[in-house]
Structure 1
Amino acid sequence: MITKNVRSTIASHLMLKKGDKVLVAVSGGVDSVVLLDILGRLSTEYSLSLIIAHLDHRLRGEESSEDARFVAKLAEQYGLPLIGESIDVRSIAEERKVGIEEAARFVRLRFLRKAADDAGATKIAIGHTANDLAETMLFNLIRGAGMTGLAGIKPVNAPFIRPLIEISRSEIVSYANEHGLSWREDRSNADMAFTRNRIRHQIVPALSELNPDVIGALLRTSEIVREEQDAFFELLERPWQEALKIEAEEGKICLNRAYVAHVSIGIRRALLRRALERVRGDLRGIGKVHIDSLCQLIASARAHGEIHLPGLLAQVQGGELVLISRYSRPETVAPQEVPLG
């Protein structure tokens, strides 16, 4: 039944085409093990070539090494090539002055993209489930979020695909047990010091008492929000073309300051968020306070000025708003204003 549902998810979101070479991210946890097994079963139907990728973050000592050995045995069992790497995430976090979670995400994405390039893979499959989607939506809601945050995890964000995104964690575990699959448990998933774990083990069960199908309800909500977001982005295209002056260089965008200042506040914020995402690659670490600061910078009577935001520098230069990418600490919250001349 799950395989049928995964096939439906793949088809509805156009995740795969025949002949794709797919890098499968396998941590050793139940989600990634089931993902690997199902893609293996679908590989003939889609003429897929599968490669396993595993990153040892060196965060849990011998347990991390055991995870790597477990995945190596999986690769041998399935007769698939394995690309593995071991990286000291704590050192990366210290070097970049960011938290462990942010450093781990940075290292993981860099590893997966490089592994896919080296292997000639066209897709990177990730084992996110419907529960991960629901927990992300709740996490974003608690912090305060707009449409993007409330939409949760995208089923497809090229080259990444998430074939299990509409499958619940309980279904995943049932599948693993029914097919005699073994997996590794990450003890940090039970650590209540992490907000995500409290959402998983406390908030979601409490919500399930109000609605036993709360995961399904949040999954449907995510779909509705994504559809409405897509419609809004279509409507945003004309204002974006009016606002955009230069996007000639990677990591730099120039907008028409006067145009952005005089459109409605909702369109203004959307234009700024799109510009920030184009410059930075994502909107992680960007909150309402940063968008508010950009709005104030644009509306000021001063001809010149700049503010530092996470990952970029924003400048007003006469009639232009210029956004320039740079490395910045993601945890930065308060923008810092530095007058020019």
Structure 2
Amino acid sequence: MSGSDPELLPTFIKKLCAAYPDVENRRFVLGVSGGVDSMVLLDLFRRTQEVHPLRLVVAHVDHGTRQGSSAVDRQLVASVCLDYTLSFYACCLKPGQLTGNFQSSARNCRYRFFHQVGRDCFGDEPFVVVTAMSLDDQVEKVFMDILQGRSLLSSLGHPLPGAWRPLADLSKAQLYHYARQQAVQWREDSTNSQPDYLRNRVRLLLQQQLEPDFGFTTSQQRTLVHDLEAGFGWLNRQMNATYIRLVQSGELDGVALRAEDAFVQSQVAHRFLVENRLEPDGRKVEQFCYLLNSKGGTRYLDGGRGVEVVFAYDRIYCRPQRVEGNDAPDPLCIDGCGDYHFGDKSLRLHRSKKTERKWFPLGANLVIFPLTIRNRLAGDTLRLPCGSVKLKKFLIDRKVPRTERHRLVVVENAHGEIIFLEGFGPVSPVAGAADDGEYWIEITPH
């Protein structure tokens, strides 16, 4: 795409129609943060609606990390959507709601919310999540993956499913130029210039050293990303064929995988973890490959979130990491308030107390639907004011008998956080006291 405004919109429309020939029958969820990239994306879609009657909604996640500044971002996006008569949906996170690597957790949270908005708005109809990753973003990601020792194939070779990035060949300078020429409103994230995060340090390295010292121009950046994508595209096709050959009914052929070289093993391990919704960090992939090539009997890898990867001699598969002797019923997912049955227990979730006995308050900021009701699993972790702690240790410290531990019921929100533990009430550091805007929960035997 060119940076000149007369060419940008027609080229965008051409790209949209090429990607989705039935564009007028498509549904789109735009992820809009309020920054220049996403506001230009919103403007381009809005102008495209004058030519094609698109079905379009806008989703925004307020991470709540900039002490009021992020609220202004949300208000800007909401105001522009109101001017354009577009449906606007926002998710406001609370401090401490994201765990682990902040940027990774925030990204995962955004995509979960975008897809949830799509399901809520369009039901069973297919939809496309659209995000505003620019050329600069891609170059930064390449350098970040190199510095962190990640597989470049995982970032450029395995794009996020269901996400379209139409601005990926536009530089940040081109987006600023378009925004100024078209009077697009946007907000600058003040934290982008702070060296607190690796991405910001990489950005400063590119801006202050590589670009001026080595003439790392937009054209060279585009060539770099294009060549990487072409090479990884070919490699990804080879790896995809290999993966299909090695997987049958969700299980990996362990004998055949051991016969592959180390690179293929690591890439297959990465994809297997992704396909099973497990976080494929470098250490976990390394452990996967170590257990794959280890001798001995059946081996196990803790995949996190109550899932274990089982390494038998000839096959590798995932299963729930149940506590020994646990005959728990299948997990129950609920999408709203009401009375429910789970095994031999009754669960009631309401916006007001029905009785005075055994009801516990749950902060509305914790109740992020859908909720999962289940028995505890080995590996469950609680986030407490003093930090994270294994649920098993939590129960041992409180002298809960072994025979009762595996029967305890936990309530998990859509972010994978345990927010309620039977017999102990809310177990989050941000639970707080109940008020008129919060929920009340009760779990009792039938």
- 2:301 aligns with 307
**Counterpart check, 1:179 vs 2:185:** no
**Contact 1:269 1:291 survives alignment (8 Å):** yes
- 1:318 aligns with 313
1:209 deviates by: 2.2
Instruction: Compare relative contact order (CA 8 Å, sep 6+) and give the higher one, 1 or 2.
Output: 1
Q: Give the letter aligned to residue 263 of structure 1.
A: E
- 2:51 aligns with 45
Q: Deviations over 1:82-115 (max 9, x none)?
A: 1223221x2322xxx4243333223222211111
- 2:89 aligns with 83
- State the alpha-carbon separation in 1 of the partners of residues 109 and 33 from structure 2: 14
Range with bigger deviation, 238-247 or 19-28: 238-247
- State the alpha-carbon separation in 1 of the partners of residues 240 and 35 from structure 2: 41
- 1:114 aligns with 116
- State the alpha-carbon separation in 1 of the partners of residues 244 and 207 from structure 2: 42
What TM-score, normalized by structure 2, do the two folds share? 0.63
**Contact 1:15 1:161 survives alignment (8 Å):** no
**Contact 1:129 1:167 survives alignment (8 Å):** yes
- Equivalent runs, 1:140-155 vs 2, <5 Å: 140-149=145-154, 151=156, 154=159
- Equivalent runs, 1:1-341 vs 2, <5 Å: 1-10=7-16, 13-14=19-20, 17-88=23-94, 90-93=95-98, 97-120=99-122, 122-149=127-154, 151=156, 154=159, 157-247=160-250, 254-280=251-277, 283=280, 286-287=281-282, 289-309=283-303, 312-324=307-319
Structure 2 residue matching 1:280: 3-state secondary structure: coil
Higher Rg of the two aligned structures = 2
Structure 2 residue matching 1:58: 3-state secondary structure: coil
1:36 deviates by: 0.7
Quickly say closer, same or farther: Cα 1:111–1:191, change in 2 above 3 A: same
Structure 1: runs of 5+ lacking an equivalent = 248-253, 330-341
- State the alpha-carbon separation in 2 of the partners of residues 8 and 209 from structure 1: 34
- State the alpha-carbon separation in 2 of the partners of residues 144 and 183 from structure 1: 34
Structure 2 residue matching 1:53: 3-state secondary structure: strand
Structure 2: runs of 5+ lacking an equivalent = 1-6, 322-378, 382-446
**Contact 2:210 2:216 survives alignment (8 Å):** no
Q: Deviations over 1:250-297 (max 9, x none)?
A: xxxx222211112233333332222222112664xx21x433332321
- State the alpha-carbon separation in 2 of the partners of residues 138 and 180 from structure 1: 32
Structure 2 residue matching 1:50: 3-state secondary structure: strand
Quickly say closer, same or farther: Cα 1:5–1:113, change in 2 above 3 A: same
**Contact 2:153 2:236 survives alignment (8 Å):** no
Quickly say closer, same or farther: Cα 1:324–1:14, change in 2 above 3 A: farther
1:133 deviates by: 0.9
Structure 2 residue matching 1:91: 3-state secondary structure: coil
Q: Point out the structure with the larger strand share.
A: 2
Aligned length: 314
Sequence identity percentage: 19
Q: Point out the structure with the larger helix share.
A: 1
**Contact 2:157 2:232 survives alignment (8 Å):** no
Quickly say closer, same or farther: Cα 1:138–1:278, change in 2 above 3 A: same
Quickly say closer, same or farther: Cα 1:193–1:142, change in 2 above 3 A: same
Q: Deviations over 1:112-133 (max 9, x none)?
A: 1111111117122211111111
1:38 deviates by: 0.8
1:323 deviates by: 3.3
Structure 1 residue matching 2:100: 3-state secondary structure: coil
Range with bigger deviation, 161-170 or 6-15: 6-15
Quickly say closer, same or farther: Cα 1:130–1:238, change in 2 above 3 A: closer
Structure 2 residue matching 1:127: 3-state secondary structure: coil
**Contact 2:32 2:38 survives alignment (8 Å):** yes
1:140 deviates by: 0.9
- State the alpha-carbon separation in 2 of the partners of residues 4 and 77 from structure 1: 23
